[in-house]
Amino acid sequence: MKPEQSVADVELKSAEKLVRLKVLVDTGAGRSVISKELSEKLGGFISLKKPYELRTANEEGRLKIIGRCMVDVMFQGVEVPGGAVFEVAENLRKDVELIIGRPEIEAWDIVFTPKGPQPRKTPIEFEIL
């Protein structure tokens, strides 16, 4: 897969703040993670009483998860019903603001196309079976 096929246009909204950005859609990520800076900019940061760490692919890499961020989401121009709750990392790489991981890839039914990741169908619908 080419790098541009794993990048998506996303809009995040919390309260009265709206941020548009390009994000990494990573099938190898077990969680979706947002930077502390972006979560604070959106005003959606919710602190955890007990922070924890996530291992990364780097042998010594660990992300310190210090909170959650609840936001409304538009993924590639398609509204995600109910928005999303992302894990907030205190030490996410400076050039990465948001990583969409497997939980959202599966829930939003994202497929990878030559034009990049897209919802398989629109509108996005959730099922409880």
114, pLDDT greater than 80: yes
How many CA atoms does the CB half-sphere of 12 hold within 13 Å? 25
In the predicted model, what is the mean pLDDT of residues 34-55? 95
The residues spanned by each domain of the chain are 3-119
Kindly report the average pLDDT of the chain as a whole number: 92
pLDDT above 80: residue 92: yes
Mean pLDDT of 26-34: 94
DSSP characters over 13-61: EETTEEEEEEEEE-TT-SS-EEEHHHHHHHT-EEEEEEEEEEE-SSTT-
Instruction: Inform me whether the pLDDT recorded for 3 exceeds 70.
Output: no
Which pTM value belongs to this model? 0.92
Q: Check residues 37 and 115 and name the one with the higher pLDDT.
A: 37
Q: Which CATH class is domain 3-119?
A: mainly beta
